[in-house]
Amino acid sequence: MYWNNFKYFDFSDLVGLTLVSITKTTNDDGNDDLIFKTECGRTFHMYHSQDCCESVYIDDISGDLDDLIGSPIVTAYEASNEVDKKDEDYSWDSLCVWTFYKIATVKGWVDIRWYGHSNGYYGVGVDFYEVT
């Protein structure tokens, strides 16, 4: 699927590609963004565009992102844990989701954990797309 200059991908589409860099940024609105650049010149972004009554951000990165550079990706997949009750820290929440992006090369594993919470009306999914 395309939107503007973006083509959406499954995270698992990284398997077989070799990364030359991964950059974590936070824009002026406080939105987290991971930028994956490949050896063959492709660029992928992992991002969530914030809306009212929600918050989605990178909660933790376990492992060393440098382990993903210079060797082909052998594993890349997404897993999530949706909680269908109010989060104790956010009394207005009715949707809390942890999404884990697990990625590995022969040099090591990295788990990227995103956390999203909303009032249940707004989505908390993370987009993964290629800039075309």
Residue-wise pLDDT for 9-18, tens only, equals 789 999 999 9
Enclosing domain of residue 48: 2-131
Residue-wise pLDDT for 35-64, tens only, equals 999 999 999 988 877 777 777 888 999 999
d(CA 54, CA 92): 10
**Closest by CA position to 128, among listed 3, 30, 27, 21:** 3
Total count of domains within the chain = 1
d(CA 83, CA 36): 29
- Rounded to two decimals, what is the model's pTM? 0.81
